[in-house]
A = this chain, B = another copy of it.
Amino acid sequence: MSNRSKVRRLPKRASYDRATIDAILDAGLICHVGLVADGSPVVIPMAYARRGDELLLHGSSASRLMKALAAGGEASIAVTHLDGIVVARSAFHSSMNYRSVVLFGKARAILGEEEKRAALEALVDHLIPGRAAELRPMTPNEVKVTTVVAIPIDEFSAKIRFGPPVDEESDYALGAWGGVVPLRIEAGEPLGDGRSDATVAVPESVHRLRLRFDEVPS
């Protein structure tokens, strides 16, 4: 825990445990990457994957953001899951249940076709576990036009809120309702694009994908 990764507001909600951090990262699909560009902050949503002690990001080699990251740019990256709306008995204690991770670190470019290829497979397998093995290999050009960077997971914090509202004692006496509306991501039936023969089955990886969201705690 560094000075900037220390959670100061509501420190009882904070965690610096790697297993907790990893579970939050592994359950998400989109991160928000913050950079400084010309002295100003920029936040962009991106796909990611955790691979061991690193977070992998990728994008077009022509992207300004990816160029800044590949040049060793400093980033702050947040992954947040919204788990519920906390209906308190006052505006002040109205809240959300969530799990979030914030990382800080300098990106390093992943270079070399084989290293990039492995990282890109980790990215597609984070999005759709088991998918890389079902697909044709990436072409050398597909690998070439993609920039891949890794951010070390070593300066981080998690912040988690769960459970019912915490109201003022005097507000419990008002006779108002208090509780939580749980929220979760629901995956619908896979929708084929009509470009395959009707006899082509939905792949295993896509069937398993729906289970992924059933496993996320609400």
A residues apposed to B, CB below 8 Å: 4, 8-9, 29-30, 32-45, 47, 59-60, 62-64, 74-78, 80, 82, 85, 87, 89-92, 94, 96, 98, 100, 102, 104, 120-121, 123-124, 127-128, 131-132, 134-136, 138-139, 142, 146, 164-165, 167, 171-172, 174-197, 200-203, 206, 209-210, 213, 218
Query: What is the bound-complex CA distance between A206 and B4, given in angstroms?
Result: 37
Residue of B nearest to A43 (CB): B34
Q: In the complex where A64-B8, A87-B190, A127-B94 touch, is A41 in contact with B176 (Cβ < 8 A)?
A: no
B193 touches A164 (CB 8 A): yes
Known contacts A164-B193, A175-B197; can you find 13 more A-B pairs with CB under 8 A? Answer: A30-B96, A30-B98, A34-B42, A41-B75, A45-B78, A164-B195, A177-B200, A177-B201, A177-B202, A179-B190, A179-B206, A181-B188, A184-B185
